[in-house]
């Protein structure tokens, strides 16, 4: 069983840990790998994503039956007006079906919130591409660096 959890401010330690973990962020090597998330940035980030998302940003942790945070799911409306998906599973919890279930939960949440389509931009060598395709996303663009996928909800 997996559930979503709206993180409290003090729970951002988990996001920091994931963003700065080389194994977790290995999928992001084409875009620089690890992403610093210093505590001095937490308040602005938390306010933008959790407090004042206003339907343009949704962010949740994924929590397993034991209460451990295993990853995150999110979406946001980009500058082109497309809704961009985000699924990130902490490296020690990969291979347990959490990515698949998290993506399903994200699609359901987006649909419930009136989102008609979800997109993601995935590095060409990112193994998560197959996860998205198996969950009904369709490839709409590909070049040497990335693949853009879309799913009608």
Q: What is the pLDDT of residues 14-34, one digit of tens each?
A: 999 999 999 999 877 767 789
Domains and CATH numbers, the chain: 2-115 (3.40.630.30)
* pLDDT higher than 90, residue 66: yes
| Residue 63 burial (10 A CB sphere; 0-12, 13-18, 19+) | middle
- Going by pLDDT thresholds of 50, 70 and 90, the confidence category of residue 83 is very high
**pLDDT for res 54:** 82
Per the prediction, the chain carries an average pLDDT of 95
* pLDDT higher than 90, residue 7: yes
% of the chain exceeding 70 in pLDDT: 99
**pLDDT for res 26:** 87
CA-wise closest residue to 26 among 16, 38, 15, 18: 18
Q: Which residues touch 85 (CB under 8 Å, ≥6 apart)?
A: 73, 74, 75, 103, 106, 110, 118, 119, 120
Q: What is the pLDDT of residues 34-50, one digit of tens each?
A: 999 999 999 999 999 99
């Amino acid at each position: 069983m997996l559930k979503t959890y709206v993180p409290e401010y003090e729970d951002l330690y988990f996001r920091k840990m994931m963003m700065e973990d080389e194994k977790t962020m290995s999928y992001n090597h084409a875009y620089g790998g690890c992403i610093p998330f210093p505590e001095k940035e937490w308040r602005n980030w938390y306010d933008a994503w959790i407090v004042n998302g206003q339907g343009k940003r949704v962010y949740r942790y994924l929590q397993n039956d034991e209460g451990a945070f295993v990853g995150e799911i999110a979406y946001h409306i980009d500058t082109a007006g497309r809704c961009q998906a985000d699924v990130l599973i902490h490296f020690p919890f990969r291979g347990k079906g959490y990515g698949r279930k998290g993506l399903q939960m994200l699609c359901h949440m987006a649909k419930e919130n009136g989102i008609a389509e979800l997109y993601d931009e995935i590095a060409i060598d990112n193994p998560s591409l197959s996860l998205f395709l198996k969950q009904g996303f369709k490839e709409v663009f590909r070049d040497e660096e990335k693949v853009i996928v879309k799913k009608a909800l």
